[in-house]
């Protein structure tokens, strides 16, 4: 990823099943286990991240976190 600015955010919460990752990028979506825990949040964070990444031509990838949770990587192109 030479010449790119890369942002990596890792969550150490419960593992995210691969089939549910895409749903987390939709507005107001959270995992069922998260809602049961009565934590705050509306489920907007990842949908906002995706919109910003798309607006800047960035690549967005996800993967399992090293200790559970989810790792989100956004690689922004070099300035022109």
Please give the chain's pLDDT, 80 residues, in tens.
Answer: 568 899 999 988 888 888 999 998 898 888 765 445 566 777 788 999 999 999 999 999 999 988 888 999 999 998 76
Enumerate the β-bridge partners of residue 5: 76
Q: What is the CATH number of domain 5-76?
A: 3.30.565.10
Q: What backbone phi and psi angles, to 5 degrees, belong to 50?
A: -60, -45
User: How many residues comprise the chain?
Assistant: 80
User: What is the distance between the alpha carbons of residues 78 and 58, in angstroms, rounded to a whole number?
Assistant: 10
Q: Domain limits of the chain?
A: 5-76
User: What is the distance between the alpha carbons of residues 63 and 74, in angstroms, rounded to a whole number?
Assistant: 12
Q: Please, what is the end-to-end C-alpha distance for the chain in angstroms? A: 16
């Amino acid at each position: 990823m030479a010449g790119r600015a890369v942002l990596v955010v890792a969550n150490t919460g419960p593992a995210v099943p691969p089939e549910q990752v895409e749903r987390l990028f939709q507005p107001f979506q959270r995992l069922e286990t998260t809602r049961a825990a009565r934590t705050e949040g509306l489920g907007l964070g990842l949908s906002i991240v995706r919109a910003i990444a798309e607006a800047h031509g960035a690549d967005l990838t996800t993967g399992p976190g090293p200790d559970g949770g989810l790792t989100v990587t956004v690689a922004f192109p070099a300035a022109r």
